[in-house]
Amino acid sequence: MKNLKFICSLSLLRNRYAVVLSLIMVSICARGECGGISPSSQGLIQGARWLDIEGEHINAHGGCVLFHDGKYYWFGEQRPLAPGMGQEGVNCYSSNDLTTWIPEGLALTVSETPGCDIERGCIIERPKVVYNKNTGKFVMWFHLELKGKGYGAARYGVAVSDTPVGPFTFLSSGRVNPKQYPLNLSEGLRNGNDETGVYQDWSPEWIEAVTKGLFVNRDFNEGQMSRDMTLFVDDDGKAYHIYSSEENLTLHIAELSDDYLSHTGKYIRVAPAGHNEAPMVMKADGKYWMVTSGCTGWKPNEARLFMSDSLMGEWEQLPNPCVGPKSEITFGGQGNFIFMDPVSGKHIAMFDIWNPECLGDSRHIWLPVTFEKGRPGIHWRQYWSF
């Protein structure tokens, strides 16, 4: 008994020491003052540098995690460790346990061929990779901005690979569904005219006109704009491209072909004039949930939550799902993807703390999504471990 008491007080001391040590590390690393933390040894310390097995900060931003054949693959924007937007392409990391990450190199590399859509100098954002069971191919979609055109092109890009780590072959890029109207824009509002010059931007008339399809009509022939995006594969194997369209004012959900390489022409508008970007979608208890952000460039803002009984159905907006300190600015981050971890059975939400001065040093936040009273919540935890 005496021995037991001794062991207990020893382990209490040890536990206290461990807690104090991790709290010190959490506060140092949250301020970005340490070289970095390997998620494997320390759990996830939000806002710290997360190191791969080679000791480098994981350079995969705006990305996603794919679970395939018992392994996790983390894809994301490769960004420079210096000021500027220059990119090499899309990085891939693999892991058996979500904590020890092996750098697999560039899954998609920018092209050196002048005139190629993904020519070096282009912007590749928010890459998402899904596996197509019918074709056995890995399909990557991303937001593409053409070299030298700022954010004006507003295109999607598609690439394909036989293996998860790539190399992915670039297939095509473009605007979405030219000459197709959204399923939920009524006949009377479909005129194919460009009336954007008629209204003063942000006036009540302009907002009403946007709601009634001002930009859908403007872009009818060329195809709909596609910026921040995600992919979602439903239980029946159908895949969807969810993206910020209409000058980032309205979200679209477009159905993909069976091979996931193109659109079928069927799409809907969600939250017209709601100014949403950074969509991430999950399904739980037969309902579809989408978390988005507002549009404030690289600066964080308050997350929004939407719910629907069907992907191509009516979406209802609900209050901010984030809970805890700085929840009004998404804990300082912006959402990029929610994945279902089949091992823990948890949905995990991934966020970027953008560092526009050095995009490669943007930090990661991963948090589990929990359900209370049938609604998803994302609760802040500075430190947690799988």
- Measured from the CB of residue 48, what is the shortest distance to ligand DGJ in angstroms? 22
List of residues 6+ apart from 201 with CB closer than 8 A: none
- CA–CA separation, 122 and 170 (whole Å): 13
Joined tokens for residue 181:
């109207």
Helix (H) or strand (E) holding 42: helix 39-42
Q: Which is nearer to ligand DGJ, 40 or 330 (by Cβ)?
A: 330
Strand partners, 141: 128, 158
User: In this structure, are residues 231 and 238 in contact, taking their beta carbons and an 8 Å threshold?
Assistant: no
Q: Tell me which long-range contacts 353-356 makes (C-beta under 8 A, separation of at least 24).
A: 353/47, 353/300, 354/61, 354/298, 354/299, 354/300, 356/297, 356/298
C-beta of 122 vs 278, nearer to ligand DGJ: 278
Backbone angles phi, psi at 251, to 5 degrees: -85, 145
Give residue number: closest CB to ligand DGJ. Answer: 297
In the complex, least distance from residue 355 CB atom to ligand DGJ, rounded to whole angstroms: 12
**8-state DSSP, 41:** H
Smallest gap, in angstroms, from Cβ of residue 126 to ligand DGJ? 6
Q: How far is the CB of 95 from ligand DGJ (least distance, A)?
A: 24
Of 124 and 261, nearer to ligand DGJ (C-beta) is 124
Q: Which is nearer to ligand DGJ, 52 or 125 (CB)?
A: 125
If the CB atoms of residues 45 and 278 are measured against ligand DGJ, the closer one turns out to be 278
In the bound state with ligand DGJ, the residue whose beta carbon lies nearer, of 49 and 143, is 143
Please report, for the chain, how many H helices and E strands are present, in that order.
4, 23
In angstroms, give the least distance from the CB of 315 to ligand DGJ.
19
By CB under 6 A, name the binding residues for ligand DGJ: 62, 125-126, 228, 277-278, 297-298, 334
* Minimum gap (Å) between residue 128 Cβ and ligand DGJ: 12
